[in-house]
Amino acid sequence: MTAWSEEADRLKGAWRLQLRVERVLHQEKTEHQDLLLFENPLFGRVLALDGIVQTTERDEFFYHEMLVHVPVLAHGAVERALIVGGGDGGALEELLKHDRLRAATLVEIDQAVIDFSKAHLQAICGQAFDDPRLELVIADGLAWVAEQRGRRAPFDLILIDSTDPVGPGEVLFSESFYADCAGLLAEGGLLVTQNAVPFTEPDSLAKPLAALGRSFAATACYRVAVPSFFGGDMVFAMASQDAAALTVEAAALERRFAEAGIETRYYTPAVHQGAFALPPYVAALLEA
């Protein structure tokens, strides 16, 4: 009998998504969540937490390249970065491609996610967890960020690579968390959050964006279509105290990308600029 992993609509019960499970590679209930790693003929190795697909071997680059390279190249001089979440190591691996980066701190609540990513998802994380620039912290991201203000040098970039706003990731969409993050950013620094797929989960974009706007002077959204995420484009939110930091001319992006010397499979400066063009149904959520 063919086995299937099923992800169901958590809001209205309107849809179910199934992926064929060719082989279960790892399954456990950790201290924080149910973890499942399995092989699928299209997506390769698939990581699901609490039944929700988080990343896959074959399409992770859509998500991780846009999460990381858009803000890094928009900023142009990121030397210190913080990732909250991101235990699969995909965002970290992309971030560490930038030679200008001197230090990266990753705060992950669940050690088990990191352990099995290192063991089973090296196609996603590579050797990122062994990079000497990494400071790895196993802690609740909400509490850790709240405790850091004034204790360390500010960050040029903060990436919130969280699960969707249910379970352990829910607190990472709160106004108090965004305010604490704002206090850790250097002048001209950028914050980027993942805000799910607005067609299926509109509240994952509208409410967090309103909260971001109460802690940051300027916000913007950009999008990417991740094949394994059902419902169309997903959206990232970017925030800064400097509105000019959110818009970069094409020539500057081209120059920075060339100087970085990185190879990408999704990101280009042209894709970067086009990603900020929002369809009306998404723009309407931000105006509600």
Q: CA 284 to CA 288: how far, in whole Å?
A: 6
What is the residue whose two structure tokens read 């924080």?
Answer: 32
Is residue 233 annotated as a catalytic residue, yes or no?
no
Mention every residue, 6+ apart, whose C-beta is less than 8 A from residue 267: 65, 66, 69, 70
Radius of gyration of the chain (CA): 18
Cβ atoms 221, 235 nearer than 8 A: yes
Helix locations, the chain, DSSP H: 60-75, 90-95, 111-120, 122-125, 141-148, 175-182, 203-213, 250-260, 269-274, 280-287
String of DSSP letters for 198-216: TTT-THHHHHHHHHHHTT-
Cβ atoms 49, 163 nearer than 8 A: yes
String of DSSP letters for 8-58: E-SSS---EEEEEESEEEEEEE-SS-EEEEEEETTTEEEEEETTEEEEETT
Instruction: Write phi, then psi, for 115 (nearest 5 degrees).
Output: -60, -45
Task: Measure CA of the first residue to CA of the last residue in the chain; give whole Å.
Answer: 47
Q: Which of 50, 59, 88, 161 is catalytic?
A: 161
Instruction: Write phi, then psi, for 179 (nearest 5 degrees).
Output: -65, -40
Catalytic residues: 161
